[in-house]
Amino acid sequence: MTEEPTTDPTAPTDQTQSDHAPPSPTPDESPSDDADEGYAAVEYLQFAAIGVLVLVALVATFRLYFSVSAAVDTFVTRRYRPLFMAGFNLVVLLGCGIGLSALVRRLA
């Protein structure tokens, strides 16, 4: 009662296929274009979020600048206001220069 394996002579075997040719993908295994479109949509969403956050940061920076200017007008006498505003503007300018030089170094 031993069963012997039967071999179908017309069935392809691994020996007859070329070792260099990759197996053809089945429809379930084929890469989907939806995955590429999904990645692109996520990438565009990230760029949009960066744009919105930069815009919010820009508005907050302007409001901070004008608030500090108003605080200088309130707490510093008229005689020293130009000196304080020049110092504040110099600090803002130096901060912008440091930020820009760091960005240029990263891009170069």
pLDDT digits (tens, 9 = 90+) for 26-71: 655 555 555 556 678 888 899 899 999 999 999 999 999 999 999 9
> How far is 72 from 75, CA to CA, in rounded Å?
5
pTM of the model: 0.56
Task: Let me know if residue 27 belongs to a domain.
Answer: no
pLDDT attached to residue 30 = 54
pLDDT attached to residue 69 = 93
Task: Let me know if residue 43 belongs to a domain.
Answer: yes
Q: Are the beta carbons of 72 and 84 closer than 8 angstroms? A: yes
Task: Let me know if residue 57 belongs to a domain.
Answer: yes
Residue 4 in this model has a pLDDT that exceeds 90: no
pLDDT attached to residue 79 = 95
Residue 75 in this model has a pLDDT that exceeds 80: yes
Name, of 24-28, 81-85, 102-106, the range with top average pLDDT. 81-85
Residue range(s) defining the domain that contains residue 63: 34-107
Task: Let me know if residue 11 belongs to a domain.
Answer: no
Domain count of the fold of the chain: 1
Task: Let me know if residue 15 belongs to a domain.
Answer: no
> How far is 37 from 79, CA to CA, in rounded Å?
62
| Cα distances (angstroms) measured from residue 101 to each of 57, 61, 97 | 19, 19, 6
How many Cα atoms within 13 Å fall on the side-chain side of residue 54?
Answer: 6
Tokens standing for 97?
A: 């220069």
Task: Let me know if residue 84 belongs to a domain.
Answer: yes
Task: Let me know if residue 25 belongs to a domain.
Answer: no
